Amino acid sequence: VNYDDLRADYDRLLQNASPLLELSQNTTFKIYRKAYQKSLPLLCAVRKLVKK
């Protein structure tokens, strides 16, 4: 993931209508939360392997 591209996209969104910005923030948050929840079991498994 190129963070400069993401920042450029975010700046573009900031320049657009605020409802659009709110929508993008909500969807981004949901995506991050979903990814975090999916990675939790994986992190637990890795931790168990490291402890052994």
Q: Structure pTM? A: 0.39
Three-state DSSP at 25 gives helix
pLDDT of residue 21: 61
CA distance 10 to 31: 16
Q: Is the pLDDT of residue 1 over 70?
A: no
pLDDT digits (tens, 9 = 90+) for 10-52: 787 777 656 666 777 888 888 888 988 888 888 888 888 888 6
Biggest CA pair distance of the chain: 52
